[in-house]
Amino acid sequence: MLNYQAIDRGTNSAEYLSFVNSLDSNLKIVEIVSIYNHPADRLRDWMGVKSIVCANDRGELYDIDFRLAWGSEIFRQHCYDYGWNQSTLLCPIDRRRKPRHKLIVYLCTPAAHLGASSNRAVPAEFIIGKYWQSIHHYYLPLPLTLPFELPEIERLDNSTALDLDLPTIVSTKPGIREGGLRTKGIERRGSANRPLISVITVVYNGASNLEQTIQSVINQDCQNFEYIIIDGGSTDGTIEIVEKYADRIDYWVSRRDAGLYDAMNRGIDLAAGEWLSFMNCGDFFADCRSLSRVPLQENVDFYYSDTILYDGMGIIKLRVCSKEKQDVIHQSIVYHKRLHSNYQYLVHDKLSISDYFFFRKYDTKNWCKLPVPIAIYNTEGISVTNSKGFVQRLFVEFMAGDINEFQMSLAIMAKVLRTPLRIIRDRLKQRR
């Protein structure tokens, strides 16, 4: 049982003020606005202690989370955070307000093997939305003199990464590389109460976006999932990123394939779970509880939700999805693998909406909508930016009798005009 001695000053803001400014001389915090308990319990090698809101000498706000940490997993969370959720990402932006920043302070026990205090910033391209202008992670070794008491830890988290040497395996077949826990004979199992979910990431030359996707998966707070990565033979450093997380990936393979849907079918064949979730490169779970919120009831075939959308311009919005309107997004769906027993995704170099075909095939199955978004989806992905896929989808709806010729013509016209109208709208907003 760990019980570090800390000076308990109650809610004396002067003590918090002094401690926060000791983290970084450039902060210049002058006011503690609020102090409250950090609502996070035993996630990946850490638990929440306190959170404060404070302001610096320029009136900028800082959200600071203090976390008690006891394992090395905390060093793998710099691109994805517990605090990125619907309420923060979709918070209306008041352009008159001062900038807001976030600091995540890990108070590390000796079990975390932190040599000395350090800090690192989340790269700007990995900060989703406009709620925080910057995010920094601070790592401090205990014991320390603190303005609050640390909780006792009765048991250490059992999700600490396995200490295994997991080298890349070059297959006997030329051009194939693989690795992960399965290559060491370690396989995950579900239970009667929580069956196994297979989370599958498909990637090809995605080194610039893959790490955040991986972190969003391995930092889920449930244990009943396996993680599979299917790479199409990347040459841009993607495999080096995958190998960095090999002890948290159940299986990964790199080989040439016939495109996105061929890779997805390979992932389905490899999946050991009863349920499937595709979280492809550049997309990620909306928060650390996305998987644990899915009930996984046997009488339900598809769970889906609304989706948070973002793009390279920093625009964030909520896509309200509706099965009745045939409007669902793959990354925000968790569904039974048994649905693929006789039908996988169609593979053709001219076809870009095989998942839409698949979901339409099972219109009559039991679909259940969840109240909280499952995923954050990059709208610069293949299926969104590809106008060919848009036309293919309209054709499917026309053949199914959902729309007539006039409605199809209007939809195509709206698609053509959408981009210039969005550019004009965004420029008008910037002038306000």
User: pLDDT tens, 15-72?
Assistant: 999 999 999 989 999 999 999 999 887 678 899 999 999 999 999 999 999 999 999 8
Selection from 172-181, 301-310, 407-416 with the highest mean pLDDT: 301-310
Average pLDDT score over residue span 236-244: 94
Mean pLDDT of all residues in 119-127 = 89
> What is the phi-psi region of residue 366: left when phi exceeds 0, alpha when psi lies from -120 to 50, beta otherwise?
beta
Task: Measure the CA–CA gap between 150 and 303, rounded to whole angstroms.
Answer: 39
In tens, the pLDDT along 59-81 reads 999 999 999 999 988 998 889 88
Own/partner long-range contacts of 159-167 (Cβ < 8 Å, ≥24 apart): 159/44, 159/45, 159/73, 159/223, 160/45, 160/71, 160/72, 160/73, 161/71, 161/72, 161/73, 161/247, 161/248, 162/186, 162/247, 163/247, 164/247, 166/243, 166/246, 166/247
CA angle, 46 as apex, 134 and 202 as ends, to 5°?
70
Domain ranges of the chain: 13-141, 169-384
Domain 169-384 class, CATH top level: alpha beta
| Residue 17 pLDDT | 94
Where does the pLDDT of residue 163 fall: very low under 50, low under 70, confident under 90, or very high at 90 and above?
Answer: low
Tell me, what amino acid is at 243? E
pLDDT of residue 136: 95
Cα 19 from chain centroid (whole Å): 31
pLDDT confidence tier of residue 382, bands split at 50, 70 and 90: very low
Would the pLDDT of 103 be above 90? yes
Mean pLDDT of 382-410: 48
Q: How many CB atoms lie within 10 A of CB 308?
A: 26
Summarize pLDDT for 174-212 with one digit per residue, the tens: 789 999 999 999 999 888 889 999 999 999 999 999 999
3-state helix, strand, coil in the chain (%, to 5): 30, 25, 50
Q: pLDDT (tens digit, 9 = 90+) per residue, 214-237?
A: 999 999 988 899 999 999 999 999
Question: Residue 389 — very low, low, confident or very high, per pLDDT cuts 50/70/90?
Answer: very low
Q: How does the average pLDDT of the chain come out, rounded?
A: 83
Q: Which ranges in 12-170 belong to alpha helices (H)?
A: 13-23, 86-89
Residue 426, pLDDT score:
65
Greatest C-alpha distance within the chain: 73
Angular region, 423: left φ>0, alpha ψ -120 to 50, beta rest: alpha
